Structure 1
Amino acid sequence: MSVPELETLLVADREQVRWITLNRPDRLNAISPAMLDELESVLTASADDPSVRVLVITGAGRAFCAGADLSPGPGDPDALPDVDLARSDAVFELLERQPQPVVAAVNGMACAGGLELLLCCDVVLAAAGVPIGDMHANAGLLPGAGGTYRLPRRVGLNPAMWLLLTGRTAPAEDFLRWGLVHRVVAAGELTAAAEELAKLLSGKSPLGLRRMKELVRDGLAQDRRTGLAHALAVAQAHQKSADYAEGVRAFAARRTPRFTGR
């Protein structure tokens, strides 16, 4: 992977799955400017790497991500933290538009910017009981990386308003009921569950999954007529791909398809 040496992330490739671990456990994996730079580098390198078919994001230690690092600058305890909201928003938008499926394996607390990061992932697995919430209201802050836009669309208006206005967290089980979390497992089973899901996704057509993600994202911003017409046009174009032919032939022959992403 053509990215510089990393200080805030651990990156490991296992078969066709790239595991990205937020690695500031002493700060509960709080997001620093360096972490944003490194995450951007990893996402950009992964997007154009045909050997990477799935991304899994998790956290080191006892937290997934506690949001932006609000610690004061060195030498001045009264200095405000270096939080570039526009930068966070751009990197999270890059994550949301990642061509490969992105799985979040929530091993511990995910709040504020950590929740905003989850909202940009495609599938969310969580350890039982982990607290998830917005929490910006507790410090008089506003979500700056898309939380107020994405949260109501993922969990519904009423849960979103409760989470945003109260600043409280809720256990992963509540987010399972609201639809953001797709599966809750015992803490000791989280890695295995993420591996199982990533293996399943990596066996699908990379081209097909990429186009599905694009159609869903685009469709959310389109009216019904435009969205349906666009979906039809992309599906018709997909019929000319090698992956389409391989999938149909494998189905007819009752064998496992060997997709190439073309």
Structure 2
Amino acid sequence: MLTEDRKTVSVKRVGQTQWITFRRSEQMNAMSMQMLDEMAGALVQAMTDDEVRAVALTGSGRVFCAGADLKEVSEAELKPGEPDLLDRVDHAFGLIRSGPKPVIAAVNGLTLAGGLEMVMACDLVFAAESAKLGDAHSNFGVFPGAGGAAILPRRIGLNRAKYLLFSGEHVSAREMMDWGLVNKVVPDDELRDTVQAFTDKLAEKSPAVLRRMKAVANRAMNVDEPAALAEEMLNLRAHMRSWDIREGLAAFAEKRKPQFRGY
């Protein structure tokens, strides 16, 4: 079992799931530049390790993530050309969106602004019963930059998104599930076990299939139906030459559990 504590995140592998836990609970797990760098490093590690089949993101304490560290943003003194917090957000969230493995947000508590945008970047969202989610950018005169205005309407509908964006209010995890953003709501003390049980099931699937499904499904949101279907067919034709499909079909015929390799 891999366990690694960095300054702002901890990394722990349970089975074939890499857990990345934010460790800035006193700052409501707000995203500092260091936290984003350490999260990105942990994500790269997970995405390139064949032993990892899924990634779970969660927060320490009672908060998942309250967004960007606005104190650091206001006080930052960067050299010309040095990546700022927005560059780091773009990089880390890009790894979540486009990485080849499923990323599950295990939302343990309050989730606001950039925290909500991080959740939207994930493939699936499991939330504790007590968790609350909202945008909150407008409360501090901050404009969203990682999906608050651009992606949230696609997830929950335009009117609901505008309500959260304009009001700065947050709503319960169960309401967010009704709106389509959260996949499952569970009792607080069952969140980690529920996510782990789910990712253990993912570990039994073909990594090649999950990788292609994630990529095609993501791109399908930005193209018309004929283009999406054409790309799906291209990926199927490529997948027909893979080890995993031959192994899956053989296992079916032989009535045994398949042993996928991811290629």
TM-score, structure 2 as length reference:
0.92
- Partner in structure 2 of residue 23 of structure 1: 23
- Partner in structure 1 of residue 94 of structure 2: 93
**Alignment partners' CA distance in 1, 2:223 and 2:155:** 17
**Alignment partners' CA distance in 2, 1:14 and 1:46:** 12
Residues 68-115 of structure 1, C-alpha deviations (whole Å, 9 max, x = no match): 112258xxxxxx243622331232122111110001111110101110
Query: How far apart are residue 15 of structure 1 and its match?
Result: 1.7
**Alignment partners' CA distance in 2, 1:91 and 1:192:** 25
- Partner in structure 2 of residue 42 of structure 1: 42
**Alignment partners' CA distance in 2, 1:158 and 1:197:** 32
Mark the CA change 1:236 to 1:81 in structure 2 (over 3 Å): closer, same or farther: same
Are residues 1:138 and 2:151 paired?
Answer: no
Letter in 2 for 1:248: L
SS in 2 for 1:148: coil
**Alignment partners' CA distance in 1, 2:100 and 2:246:** 21
Query: How far apart are residue 10 of structure 1 and its match?
Result: 0.4
**Alignment partners' CA distance in 1, 2:205 and 2:55:** 14
**Alignment partners' CA distance in 2, 1:250 and 1:81:** 59
Are residues 1:12 and 2:12 paired?
Answer: yes
Residues 147-194 of structure 1, C-alpha deviations (whole Å, 9 max, x = no match): 211111111212111111110000000110011110000001111101
Task: Name stretches of at least 5 consecutive residues in structure 1 with no aligned partner.
Answer: 74-79
- Asked whether the 8 Å contact 1:8–1:38 carries over to 2, the reply is yes
- Partner in structure 1 of residue 150 of structure 2: 149
Are residues 1:192 and 2:212 paired?
Answer: no
Q: Which moved more, 1:113-122 or 1:37-46?
A: 37-46
- Partner in structure 1 of residue 244 of structure 2: 243
Query: How far apart are residue 145 of structure 1 and its match?
Result: 1.7
SS in 1 for 2:68: coil
Letter in 1 for 2:147: G
**Alignment partners' CA distance in 1, 2:201 and 2:192:** 14
SS in 2 for 1:100: coil
- Asked whether the 8 Å contact 1:86–1:144 carries over to 2, the reply is no
Provide the alpha-carbon RMSD of the alignment: 1.8
- Asked whether the 8 Å contact 2:37–2:88 carries over to 1, the reply is no
**Alignment partners' CA distance in 2, 1:227 and 1:134:** 30
TM-score, structure 1 as length reference:
0.93
SS in 1 for 2:215: helix
Counting only pairs closer than 5 Å after superposition, residues 45-84 of structure 1 correspond to structure 2 as 45-71=45-71, 80-82=74-76, 84=85
Counting only pairs closer than 5 Å after superposition, residues 202-213 of structure 1 correspond to structure 2 as 202-213=203-214
Percent of aligned positions with the same letter in both sequences? 43
SS in 2 for 1:21: strand
**Alignment partners' CA distance in 2, 1:141 and 1:184:** 29
SS in 2 for 1:149: coil
Residues 218-240 of structure 1, C-alpha deviations (whole Å, 9 max, x = no match): 21222222221111011111011
**Alignment partners' CA distance in 2, 1:190 and 1:72:** 31
Letter in 1 for 2:64: F
**Alignment partners' CA distance in 2, 1:5 and 1:184:** 28
Letter in 2 for 1:154: R
Are residues 1:169 and 2:170 paired?
Answer: yes
Aligned residues: 255
Are residues 1:258 and 2:259 paired?
Answer: yes
Letter in 2 for 1:116: E
**Alignment partners' CA distance in 1, 2:5 and 2:131:** 31
**Alignment partners' CA distance in 2, 1:87 and 1:26:** 21
- Asked whether the 8 Å contact 1:89–1:146 carries over to 2, the reply is no
Query: How far apart are residue 5 of structure 1 and its match?
Result: 6.8
Task: Name stretches of at least 5 consecutive residues in structure 2 with no aligned partner.
Answer: 77-83
